């Protein structure tokens, strides 16, 4: 701030002699200095040009892009698997053990399909909360069991037949997700 004041004083001295009436600009500058605010650039300066972006190019690191939607993709794939007729034979056994109807379980997973966007949402779908009813706790336990079945036996086929762009990264993180589904209370991070 001191350097700025010195520059302003030098420019005022060199431009014209001091007049008995201060100019509007010097009044504004001195008022701004007294208030302690920063000076704004004068309106006569060139407007700041925005950087032109190249369409289809991003400045995000490729490593970040590869792992960005892994949890979202796996969560939605598990929900789709539970709604598919392929999972019926697995669901019958799991739901009979816990006393849950198939329609009730599918309603839960249908609602989850659009909600799972990150690790926190996926974790909440597996872990019973303190305010959850007994039936919801049973449904979450069944969802955890069917998620393990999908991840162990069906996820590799799903990875290579889907439209996922980064197949190898999904394959690498498959084992980490399996371990986190087994112990969802420790499911805080992925990398």
For residue 96, is it within any domain?
A: yes
Query: Which token pair is 14?
Result: 């060199």
For residue 174, is it within any domain?
A: yes
pLDDT at 111: 92
pLDDT at 24: 54
For residue 84, is it within any domain?
A: yes
For residue 191, is it within any domain?
A: no
How long is the chain?
191
Alpha helix (H) ranges present in 84-154? 88-98, 102-115, 119-126, 134-149
φ and ψ of 12, to 5 deg: -70, -40
Low-confidence ranges of the chain (pLDDT < 50): 20-21, 32, 39
Residue recorded with tokens 């700025």: 4
pLDDT at 65: 73
Domain span holding position 173: 62-186
Q: How far apart are CA 128 and CA 118, in angstroms?
A: 17
For residue 28, is it within any domain?
A: no
Q: How far apart are CA 93 and CA 189, in angstroms?
A: 31
For residue 16, is it within any domain?
A: no
- For the chain, the domain total comes to 1
Q: How far apart are CA 55 and CA 100, in angstroms?
A: 50
Q: How far apart are CA 103 and CA 82, in angstroms?
A: 11
For residue 10, is it within any domain?
A: no
CB of 138 closer than 8 Å to CB of 99? yes
CB of 156 closer than 8 Å to CB of 171? yes
Closest CA to 151 of 69, 81, 65, 66: 81
pLDDT at 12: 73
pLDDT at 59: 72
pLDDT at 91: 95
CB of 78 closer than 8 Å to CB of 106? no
Q: What is the pTM of this model?
A: 0.67
Give the relative orientation of helices 70-83 and 134-149 as an angle to the nearest 10 degrees: 100
For residue 135, is it within any domain?
A: yes
Percentage of the chain lying above the pLDDT 90 cut = 52
pLDDT at 79: 95
């Amino acid at each position: 701030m001191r350097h700025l004041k010195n520059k302003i004083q030098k420019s005022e001295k060199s431009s014209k002699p001091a007049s008995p009436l201060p100019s509007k600009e010097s009044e504004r500058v001195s008022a701004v200095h007294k208030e302690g605010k920063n000076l704004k650039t004068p309106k006569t300066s060139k407007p700041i040009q925005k950087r032109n972006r190249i369409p289809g190019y991003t400045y995000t690191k490729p490593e970040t892009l590869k792992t960005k939607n892994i949890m979202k993709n796996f969560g939605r794939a598990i929900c789709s698997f539970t709604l598919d007729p392929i999972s019926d034979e697995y669901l019958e056994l799991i739901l009979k053990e816990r006393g849950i109807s198939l329609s009730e379980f599918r309603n839960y997973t249908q609602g989850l399909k659009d909600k799972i966007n990150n690790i926190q949402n996926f974790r909440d779908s597996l872990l019973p909360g303190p305010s959850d009813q007994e039936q919801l706790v049973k449904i979450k336990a069944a969802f955890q069991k069917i998620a393990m079945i999908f991840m162990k036996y069906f996820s590799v086929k799903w990875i290579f037949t889907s439209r996922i762009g980064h197949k190898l990264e999904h394959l690498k993180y498959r084992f980490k997700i399996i371990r986190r589904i087994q112990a969802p209370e420790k499911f805080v991070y992925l990398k």
